[in-house]
Copies of this chain bind each other. A is one copy, B any other.
Amino acid sequence: MRMWGAALLMPLAAALSAAQAPEPAATGAARIAQAALRDPSSYALVESLTTEVGQRLAGTAADARAVEWAKAKLGAMGFDDVHTESFPLTAWIRGAESAEVVAPAPQKLALTALGGSVATDADGIEAEIALFRTYAELLAASQGALAGKIAVVTQRMVRVQHGGGYGAANPIRRAGPSEAAKRGAVAYLLRSLGTDDHRLPHTGALSYAEGAPRIPAAALSNPDADQLERLAARGPVRVRLLLAPRTQENAQSWNVVAEAKGRARPEEIVLIGAHLDSWDLGTGAIDDGAGVAIVATVGKLIASLPQRPQRTVRIVLFGAEEMDRSGPAYGAAHEGEARRIVLASEADFGARRVYAVLLPTAVAGSDFAKALAATLAPLGAFVDPRAPLGGGDDIHQLQKAGVPVAYLGQNGLDYFDIHHTADDTLDKIDARELAQATAVWAAFTYLAAESDVDFRAK
């Protein structure tokens, strides 16, 4: 009876105390989460960006259109400041790309150039393939073993909800081209880093090593990698490859920044970001239109609160994540204020539900973590006690400068079915899941900005 009476009286007591004392942070966090669940902005933003701009490869005219789009959208959201910060980059622009099995069974192959790949000669390359079912087997090949060959690695990345299969397989794409070149290969093909079975290859950046010849490199769709495995098991296979990308020196891109100043300690900044640029094959819906929509909506909700949180909330839409350029540019430009950025995180893992938040170790088990956990529970998410590996690619440079990072884990079971392919389009986004993710980001950001905890390790 006592419990029952207390439960009945709670709302009245809460109402009375609200009139007298500042609202508990958890109450504000729960309220902003509910507002995010009801707010159609996140889906509307990604619909607008993917429709009215479409793909927005960093350093191109489409990128510039996306920046204008972002300035206009953020400019109408009640922020105290919206501005851009430019940085230089060499743009890489896809050209014609095709490949075919010449012998023994002539057939076309679906592939796409890796970002940063050099072109083949104008009439292409024709050579026998040397196929490796694992990357380790390629690395075990001796120098010169691949002379004159097109190296092919068909290792398949592993489907994991948190996306860890991508990190594990990443060297196959990043470092594989130069490793093959060191062993004499004239070109490099890999099975796409993707978990689907469609004829839609997954692009992504490579990193040529110093001192190794720069050879053309492309990703095969999963069914095409399967096909080369079957053909190679039957005997020698000759492939013809044509890639005609080009680069443009002295291009530029922009990080777009918006701020909602804190009411009590505006010099302390909670930074949440996403990246505005996309690969060119799809329209950048899940990578990373969804992230842009999430953090812009969170920023809007916080900027328009009757009472702002204590700390400043800064939204950064990074301009060249796919080219590995915007994070370093931002980190270099803002190294001097790294001490004032109390926490940073980037939304760059799609449009599905957030199921876990990983916090800096300094606050593990703290009252902050408990309050966050209580706020997340009704949203269907929890606080994962493990430390985050990072806070997102664009946050890495800040992290190196000492900025604490958090990671909001979204359900990525099918993320790598779509990631970096032509299939990255709006229809892959469920508006309700996106709203849930936005709500979790809103609660997390509000709590971090309203609190006075120090996220830095002691």
Please report A residues at the B interface, Cβ cutoff 8 Å. Answer: 47, 51-55, 62, 65, 101, 104-108, 110, 197-200, 222-223, 226-227, 230-231, 234, 282-283, 421-423, 425-428
Provide the bound-state CA to CA distance between A54 and B108, in Å: 9
Given contacts A110-B422, A230-B47, contact A105 B54 (CB under 8 A): yes
Q: Which 3 A-B pairs have the closest CB atoms?
A: A54-B107, A199-B422, A223-B425
Cross-chain contact of A199 among B52, B107, B226, B282 (Cβ < 8 A)? B282
Whether A226 contacts B105 by the Cβ 8 Å rule is no
Whether A283 contacts B227 by the Cβ 8 Å rule is yes
Whether B428 contacts A197 by the Cβ 8 Å rule is yes
Whether A227 contacts B51 by the Cβ 8 Å rule is yes
Who on chain B is nearest to A53 by CB? B105
Whether B107 contacts A283 by the Cβ 8 Å rule is yes
**Which residues in B have their C-beta under 8 angstroms from that of A427?**
197, 222-223, 226
Who on chain B is nearest to A421 by CB? B199
**Which residues in B have their C-beta under 8 angstroms from that of A108?**
55
Whether A425 contacts B283 by the Cβ 8 Å rule is no
Provide the bound-state CA to CA distance between A35 and B198, in Å: 33
Provide the bound-state CA to CA distance between A54 and B231, in Å: 11
**Which residues in B have their C-beta under 8 angstroms from that of A198?**
198, 200, 423
Whether A223 contacts B423 by the Cβ 8 Å rule is yes
Whether B425 contacts A107 by the Cβ 8 Å rule is no
CB distance from A230 to the nearest CB of B (A): 5
CB distance from A50 to the nearest CB of B (A): 8
Provide the bound-state CA to CA distance between A191 and B177, in Å: 39
CB distance from A321 to the nearest CB of B (A): 20
CB distance from A115 to the nearest CB of B (A): 17
**Which residues in B have their C-beta under 8 angstroms from that of A53?**
105
Known pairs A199-B421, A226-B425. 7 more at Cβ < 8 A?
Answer: A51-B105, A51-B234, A52-B105, A197-B428, A199-B422, A223-B425, A230-B426
Provide the bound-state CA to CA distance between A218 and B84, in Å: 42
**Which residues in B have their C-beta under 8 angstroms from that of A47?**
230
Which residue among A51, A52, A234 has the maximum number of chain B CB atoms within 10 Å of its CB?
A: A51
Provide the bound-state CA to CA distance between A80 and B422, in Å: 50
CB distance from A233 to the nearest CB of B (A): 9
Whether A107 contacts B231 by the Cβ 8 Å rule is no
A-B contact pairs, 30 of them (CB 8 A): A51-B227, A51-B230, A51-B231, A51-B234, A52-B104, A52-B105, A52-B234, A54-B105, A54-B106, A54-B227, A55-B108, A62-B106, A107-B283, A110-B422, A197-B423, A197-B425, A197-B427, A197-B428, A198-B198, A198-B200, A199-B282, A199-B423, A199-B425, A223-B423, A223-B425, A223-B426, A223-B427, A226-B426, A227-B283, A230-B426
**Which residues in B have their C-beta under 8 angstroms from that of A227?**
51, 54, 283, 425-426
Provide the bound-state CA to CA distance between A199 and B110, in Å: 13
Provide the bound-state CA to CA distance between A321 and B422, in Å: 31
**Which residues in B have their C-beta under 8 angstroms from that of A222?**
427
Who on chain B is nearest to A227 by CB? B51
**Which residues in B have their C-beta under 8 angstroms from that of A421?**
199
**Which residues in B have their C-beta under 8 angstroms from that of A231?**
51
Provide the bound-state CA to CA distance between A283 and B106, in Å: 11
